[in-house]
Amino acid sequence: MADIRQTPTAEAYTWQNDAACREVDASLFFHPEGERGAARQARLEAAREVCGRCAVRAECLAWALERPEPYGIWGGLDEDERQELLTRQRVVVNTATAEAEPA
């Protein structure tokens, strides 16, 4: 039997209704195979410009970090930037946990 406690409800997706990217071609946020150099940088900058004017940027980034989304620009961050953020968060949590443990 499926565990429905982990299934998001429709309310979990409502932030997407206010996303600036709803009016933009989704390919702007996901790189094509083999994209490099100036073309990649131009696409990233254009995607980040959309994210920069988005009312739900924080919700989008939180969504991508919770999953974690392996591809694309979410909340203005690319895959590598989100991975770096998650790694830093783990280090902070592990450090705080180690400091809180009795010696």
Condensed to tens digits (0 to 9), the pLDDT of residues 27-75 reads 999 999 999 999 999 999 999 999 999 999 999 999 999 988 999 999 9
- How far from 89 is each of 19, 52, 65, CA to CA, in Å? 26, 23, 11
Q: Enumerate the H helices of 1-103 as residue ranges.
A: 37-52, 57-66, 79-100
| Size (the chain), residues | 103
For residue 47, how many other CB atoms are within 10 A of its CB? Answer: 22
The whole model's pTM is what? 0.76
Q: How confident is the model at residue 13 (pLDDT cuts 50, 70, 90)?
A: confident
Query: Which residues, including other chains, have CB under 8 Å from residue 59's CB and lie 6 or more apart?
Result: 15, 75
pLDDT at 3 over 60: no
